Amino acid sequence: MKEEKIPTHVGIIMDGNGRWATMRGLKRSAGHKAGFNTLKTLATHILNSGVKVLSIFAFSTENFSRSKEEVDYLMDLFVTGVKTLKKEFSKYNIKVIFSGRSKPLPDKVLKEMKKVEAYTENNTNGIFNICLNYGGKAEIVDTAKKIAKLVKEGKLNIEDI
């Protein structure tokens, strides 16, 4: 019998929930809610199957260009969803962490992020990493600025890049 290989880290890009709802004649918010419900079930299953880290790419910097109504709904869904995940994941000993930028996330989101991280910080059965307010373009710009600053300060030789 062949031994099963379980990956250490799995990443999921949450994409298409709004389109899914639109294709069915529903509001985009119904798709986001359905996506969250599916994610909750899927994440618990993945982390209880031996995967050590599950990263969910949930909201990119580019998503802030959506309508104010949709962004506000997503931020509210995040706050209420994280409260649910906090209890659910603690039951399964799963630690929740966040990756991404804090600005311009609303204070209510940042507050809930801190609460869930503190509540689950000692859990050891796996890590659920929620990537929120991340973006490839932003990461490249940030890195270029850091490199330029180090070169300007004489801490990095341009030839070493």
**Residues belonging to the active site:** 15, 63
Contact 138, 100 (CB under 8 A): no
Q: How far is it, in rounded angstroms, from Cα 112 to Cα 80?
A: 9
Q: Which residues are paired to 67 by β-bridges?
A: none
Strands 53-60 and 95-99: unpaired
Contact 85, 96 (CB under 8 A): yes
How many whole angstroms separate alpha carbon 10 and alpha carbon 94? 15
Please state, in angstroms and as integers, the Cα–Cα distance from residue 153 to each residue in 16, 83, 142, 157, 158, following that order.
44, 44, 17, 10, 11
DSSP string, 143-155: HHHHHHHHHHTTS
